[in-house]
Structure 1
Amino acid sequence: MRLKKSLWMPAVIGLLAVASGGWLVQQSSEGNVYLKSRVFQDVMRVISDRYVDEIDPADLYDMAVEGMIEQLGDPHTAILRPEDYSQLRLTTTGNYGGLGIRIDQKDNWITVVQTLPNTPADRAGLQPGDRLIEVDGESMKGWTSEKAVSVLRGPKGAPVDLKISRVGVPEPIPVRIVRDDIHVDYVVAFVLEPGIGYIQQLQFSAQSANDIRGEIEDLRGQGMRALVLDLRNNPGGLLEEGVEVADIFLEDGSDVVETRSRIADQNDTYFGDRRPVESGMPVIVLVNRWSASASEIVAGALQDHDRALVLGDTTFGKGSVQTLYPLPGGNYLKITTAKWYTPSGRSIQRERDWSNGGAVVAHRGGAIEGAGASLEPPVFYTDAGREVVGGGGIIPDLVIQGEPLTDAELEFRKSLGDQLAAYSDAVFRFAAVYANKHPNLSPDFEVTQEMLDQLYDWIVGLDIEVERELYDSAKRVVVRELGIQLATVAFDDKVTLRRQLVLDRQLEVATELLRGGPSPKQLFALAETRKGEYQD
């Protein structure tokens, strides 16, 4: 991949200079910047000296900086505190120091959802369903998952003392766990059916491209002739890894994405520079409204070069580039510096009104919005001359909605009302207890009627009001939910993901198309002929 720079590498710049207790600000040609800086200093001084409540001057500076950033109206520009930067490093590297558990808040307690194999939590004997009731002598009742994560993570070798509550054990269990390095895998892959492989990419971290290359080689060894690349709910990550993943499928030298900015050194075009893994293999990319950032780079590049059929919902439209600049005290400024454009020239950025909860702003054609601007989104063309629509986000070649609930299933959900969260927690805890009682459960287990009857009795026993007739009428979704929870607590991510993909209409359509489209060209032709049949 030919890159001029790394957009995530911190660049050292001088943002503000402090001298003689004041800010040195270069006077602009208009002559008013110096005056405004004096006003700012005077306001800071008067508030610090005269405000009714004493305020630490350091806090005033923090407020001023955060207020300045807030006025930009850009949720992607922010000050990253050291703890925020640590979280960013996790999402871009997949590595952190911790226990190796996945947790969630259930019934007002932090609960173990899954223990990762060969981690401190696994070796200490923690089980799915265990409630974390105390950490280092402090009660965890009412804690959010975010607070628990911030406390449970820490440097390798540092111990943490827990007390856990386990179903069937009358007294809390004390356990000391020593933190270790934990790696999160963001790629899951398996053979869907003979000849068709499936890869889910959850986030673009530092090893994403290498991981996907390895999975493709492994799937090819199992007879894969076509591939589903699932980027749904993928929020993005590293730009370079998005480019590298697209490069896996594109011809050497293909342009992948362009960045445009008012800053000269932020204007770049990124090209692939490796031979594709398999240029003749038909590929379908699945996206939805939560596919963002690097996910959209991959989907847009493969669509514009006619390398993959894109299927699903219009993506989020996060087409802006953020650059990190180091600040004193271990802080960073994450600031938007450019926007991304696909090879055909489409802007990925989908304009939103962040003062209105992030609502999408209707696209207006033309460079400047105005009373006479067109409401029609611009049209662009792929290498093969296919029309693709701009206006923000990536609009799929086939827009396919998820599997709808039946009337009976909707009525069941509606009947739960404000008990829905308690119902979901009950299903999880039943699954955890069931899995512990059935250690020989097979990964291809079947959710039987006996299990459904036991689950119903469990739910009613927790004083959750569920009509048996409605429960039975929603059997399809109850079976799916119980299957997912059992797979989560008893098996690995592959088994869990297979259960999650049950009743997945988008995947069903993709699989059907790949069965009938043995080459990329034939796949596009087949999708075009069946668009009326599939299109929502």
Structure 2
Amino acid sequence: MMKKRTVLFLVAASMLCGVLLTMVFTQLPNLAGSGASGEGLLASIAKNGLEQEEAKKIGTALDLIESNYYKDVDRDKLVDGAINGMMESLGDPYSNYMGKVTAEQFEESIEGSFSGIGAEVSSVDGYVEVVSPIKGSPADKAGIRAKDVILSVNGESLQGLDLNAAVAKIRGPKGSKAVLKVKRSGTAEPIEFVIVRDDVDLETVTSRMESNGVGIIEISQFSLNTGDRFKEELKNLEDRGMKGLVIDVRNNPGGVLAVVIDIAEQFVPKGKLIVQVEDKEQKREKHPSQGSSKPYPVVLLMNKGSASASEILAGALQESAGAILIGENSFGKGTVQTSFDKQFGDGSLLKVTIAKWLTPNGTWIHEKGIKPDMKVAQPAYFSVAPLDKKKTLTYDSNNSDVMNAQIMLDAIGFKPGRKDGYFDRATEKAVKSFQSSRKLKADGKVNAATAEALEAALIKKIQDPENDNQLNRGIAEVRKEIAAKASNK
């Protein structure tokens, strides 16, 4: 069975958040509302400590190590290691132990403020795999994608490391560089990314109005302030005469349970289910909506980076509000965690999976995800790999970097005539034409400067909403629904 461990990968300014921001039952007072706190589940968690023989066994191991190990040992590290070992033995990617610094960062992440490169990662069979880059983060801007495997950082291999130890390799001051070697499916050689660490001041909700009264709200994460921000943006759009809504949760890794329930209630009719939470005794807590439906059509955009709370929202809107899901199959994270931050007394924290969540119809989507009603893929160039800046591509080369360069050239309008990785004269001509347009030396060779210019031009094209197939399909579907509604009047 594949073993996974997951953390939120946000490293900069000597700060590290060492957990995945997934579906969390926090123990904060403001989340203790009706139907959202998970108090029934929390009350059922056993509080028994070690039995005498168990404590003796661990104490004996600690004493033997301290007495016999050939080097001096850090007792605190041994104790932390023991707790980490217990968490590892669960085989659960979402149950984690965090020391004081990491725990502080976890609390900040729930509040929606971050410092780091901005990507969510997990450990799969000893490899660090990206779940999702946070939109607008340094990792996202550099081209990190979901399912990328990070092999090394600044020349240090991450393979086989404990996930927290692997993430610690990324730590460094704001403005410093993290050089990542990444393995991406479909590429023969590792890809190098140079990411400048920075603060990630995350605005979790943004909105805009398209023509014909179509509103768009993007949710990058479900933090504590996200519910209020969503209501503000939704009201603003409605006050401006919105006739239909597109909700975008692509690459949204999740967040706080109470927040996603609050947002879902804006669309799910009163009494209909939003989500069900089932404990290990198979007792279910059902969360019916206290809100009401909307008179306008709603579409939700999702992709393989949409996880946890994003999937709860998708399931609730699909099954209880009649919304249309567009994009790709979601990530597939169907468990619920709670964090214990008071019991240790030293600032450390334990995050434990205490239940699984089910869609309103009772489906557990764990490791399967939610299927969209309309499957829509992005253009191929959205997932093209960055070029190796240490190599110069020239006529008669034949490799994956050439293929990626050809895909980039074709995407931005400089037609190489082929995209199979062979650098022929037509490709050389396309490179020269591109170089001339950017006032570079037009020698037909893809060196570091040309590669960087190509990637910058491609990023600009990707960021243009006109090229976003999923968004455009979502807008089109909403407009179709608006038109159908108008014709029925």
Normalised by the size of structure 1, how large is the TM-score?
0.56
Q: Which one of 31, 34, 43 corresponds to residue 2 of structure 1?
A: 34
Q: Give the Cα separation in 1 of the matches to 2:377 and 2:208.
A: 24
Pairwise CA distance, 1:194: 2.6
Verify the 8 A CA contact 1:194 1:223 in the aligned structure 2: no
Query: What is the match of residue 197 of structure 1?
Result: 215
Please identify the structure whose Cα radius of gyration is greater.
1
Query: What is the match of residue 400 of structure 1?
Result: 376
Pairwise CA distance, 1:204: 0.4
Pairwise CA distance, 1:90: 2.7
- What is the percent sequence identity of the aligned residues? 26
Verify the 8 A CA contact 2:387 2:404 in the aligned structure 1: no
Which range is displaced more, 512-521 or 338-347?
512-521
Verify the 8 A CA contact 2:272 2:289 in the aligned structure 1: yes
Deviations for 1:162-204, whole angstroms, at most 9, x for unmatched residues? 999xxxxxxxxxxxxxxxx996311111113232111110000
Change (3 A) 1:67 1:193: same
Q: Give the Cα separation in 1 of the matches to 2:301 and 2:217.
A: 10
Q: Which one of 232, 242, 247 corresponds to residue 224 of structure 1?
A: 242
Query: What is the match of residue 253 of structure 1?
Result: 271
Of structures 1 and 2, the one with the larger relative CO (CA 8 A, separation 6+) is: 2
Query: What is the match of residue 454 of structure 1?
Result: 438
Q: Which one of 51, 65, 76 corresponds to residue 25 of structure 1?
A: 51
Query: What is the match of residue 79 of structure 2?
Result: 61
RMSD over equivalenced CA pairs, Å: 4.7
Change (3 A) 1:417 1:212: same
**Secondary structure, in 3 states, of the residue corresponding to 1:329?**
coil
Change (3 A) 1:304 1:70: same
Q: Give the Cα separation in 1 of the matches to 2:155 and 2:374.
A: 44
2:275 matches 1:311 = no
Query: What is the match of residue 214 of structure 1?
Result: 232
Q: Give the Cα separation in 2 of the matches to 1:25 and 1:260.
A: 29
Residue correspondence of structure 1 range 9-20 to structure 2 within 5 A: none
Change (3 A) 1:454 1:85: same
Q: Give the Cα separation in 2 of the matches to 1:92 and 1:103.
A: 14
**Secondary structure, in 3 states, of the residue corresponding to 2:337?**
strand
Verify the 8 A CA contact 1:308 1:520 in the aligned structure 2: no
Query: What is the match of residue 362 of structure 2?
Result: 345
Change (3 A) 1:4 1:249: closer
Q: Give the Cα separation in 2 of the matches to 1:102 and 1:47.
A: 37
2:93 matches 1:75 = yes
Q: Which one of 286, 301, 307 corresponds to residue 301 of structure 2?
A: 286
Q: Give the Cα separation in 1 of the matches to 2:225 and 2:374.
A: 30
Deviations for 1:342-394, whole angstroms, at most 9, x for unmatched residues? 110001322xxxxxxxxxxxxxxxxxxxxxxxxxxxxxxxxxxxxxxxxx321
Verify the 8 A CA contact 1:201 1:234 in the aligned structure 2: yes
Letter in 1 for 2:304: R
Pairwise CA distance, 1:151: 4.4
Change (3 A) 1:53 1:2: same
Letter in 1 for 2:263: V
Ranges in structure 2 where 5+ consecutive residues have no aligned partner = 1-32, 120-134, 142-153, 157-165, 178-198, 389-397, 409-432
Deviations for 1:465-503, whole angstroms, at most 9, x for unmatched residues? 759xxx9xx8xx86452467xxxxxxxxxxxxxx34331
Q: Give the Cα separation in 1 of the matches to 2:310 and 2:374.
A: 17
2:478 matches 1:514 = yes
Verify the 8 A CA contact 1:320 1:340 in the aligned structure 2: yes
Verify the 8 A CA contact 1:281 1:520 in the aligned structure 2: no
Q: Give the Cα separation in 2 of the matches to 1:402 and 1:114.
A: 18
Change (3 A) 1:400 1:10: same
Residue correspondence of structure 1 range 161-180 to structure 2 within 5 A: none
Letter in 2 for 1:63: G
Pairwise CA distance, 1:339: 0.3
Which range is displaced more, 80-89 or 339-348?
80-89
Pairwise CA distance, 1:522: 11
Q: Give the Cα separation in 1 of the matches to 2:284 and 2:55.
A: 32
2:486 matches 1:502 = no
Q: Give the Cα separation in 1 of the matches to 2:379 and 2:296.
A: 27
